[in-house]
Amino acid sequence: MRRMTARFSAALIVLAAGAAPVMADEVWSTPYGPMQWETTLADMAVFNLYGDGVAPSALRLFLPGMALDVSGGRGEYYGFWTSESGERVCPAALTDPMGLTTRDWGSVELRFDRAGFPSSWTARVGVCFDAPGETIRGVTPAGGGK
């Protein structure tokens, strides 16, 4: 598990750097740089790590059901992440809803600190078919933490 966690961290580090992103409705600070709610696809929220501080990176979290809870009632969401970091870690490729085909992907469990907007969150991520193991914290600048 430690090997897979290191690979996920490497994918994040490759994509993370620099300044704050262009502000949107929801932005969170993470240890790897700012994470922003990039778009909504049907009932799915798509979060993006802004690696260069301005343009979306190719590391995204896909959270089915979250788009239905835009104004509150948020809880825990189970989804997946994809990355185009150049790490070829998974035995099979996955094509995400944004059209990226990659071997860098895994699961994500994301839990908000509170149901109201805004709120910080904690995510657990896994690589490929591994169960989530690494924890990442997303903190809202709007004071929505615990």
Q: What are the pLDDT digits (tens) for 23-59?
A: 346 899 998 889 999 999 999 999 998 766 666 677 8
**Please, what is the Cα angle at 129 between 123 and 134, to 5 degrees?**
30
Alpha-carbon torsion (128, 131, 133, 136), positive or negative: positive
Closest CA to 51 of 73, 25, 76, 30: 30
pLDDT score for 142 = 73
Contact status, residue 8 vs residue 125, Cβ threshold 8 Å: yes
| Other beta carbons within 10 Å of 54 | 11
% of residues, the chain, pLDDT over 70: 72
Q: Check: pTM over 0.85? Answer yes or no.
A: no
Name the token pair of 65.
């059901």
Q: Which of 16-20, 29-33, 92-96, 117-121 has the highest mean pLDDT?
A: 92-96
Distance of CA 20 to the CA centre of its chain: 16
pLDDT score for 32 = 86
